[in-house]
Amino acid sequence: MPYIVVMSILDDEIERIRIRFKTIAWALDERLRRLFAASEAFALGRGGVTKVALATGVSRRAIHVGLKELSSEKLPVENQRNRTRKDGGGRKSIIETEAGVMDALEKLVDPTSRGNPESPLRWIYKSLRKLSDELKLEGYSVSY
């Protein structure tokens, strides 16, 4: 019988977290979602990370990162105020990873481009898929 009571308390606790999270989830970006989950886990103490992960769907790893941020009271760097992730995150531009891809693209586009040569806007007759296929034939790893 005590097992049922404990499970009922746990389910009730998780449901309260879920309600609080759903109430504000629409306004949270990635960083704030992580910090919200971490603050809930911190308030619960031992086992809080697991309970919050179950209630919110935020990964345990993200909650642990949030706990580290909360404990160190990290303030965002001046130029990161409107950023969700640290500078330098994400995939590198193909221009950085594939040397010469812009020159190859220019060679493919130049003969078929139309418009004012003074304007940066160009009209071309080849589709993105066609350009992608031609770049692949030249050995570049690109997608349309």
- pLDDT given for residue 111 in this prediction: 72
The three-state secondary structure class of 29 is coil
What span, in angstroms and rounded, lies between the C-alpha atoms of 37 and 45? Answer: 12
Query: Residue 76: pLDDT above 70?
Result: no
Q: Give 35-66 pLDDT, tens digit per residue.
A: 999 999 999 899 899 999 999 999 999 999 99
Say if pTM beats, i.e. exceeds, 0.85.
Answer: no
Tokens coding 144: 């349309």
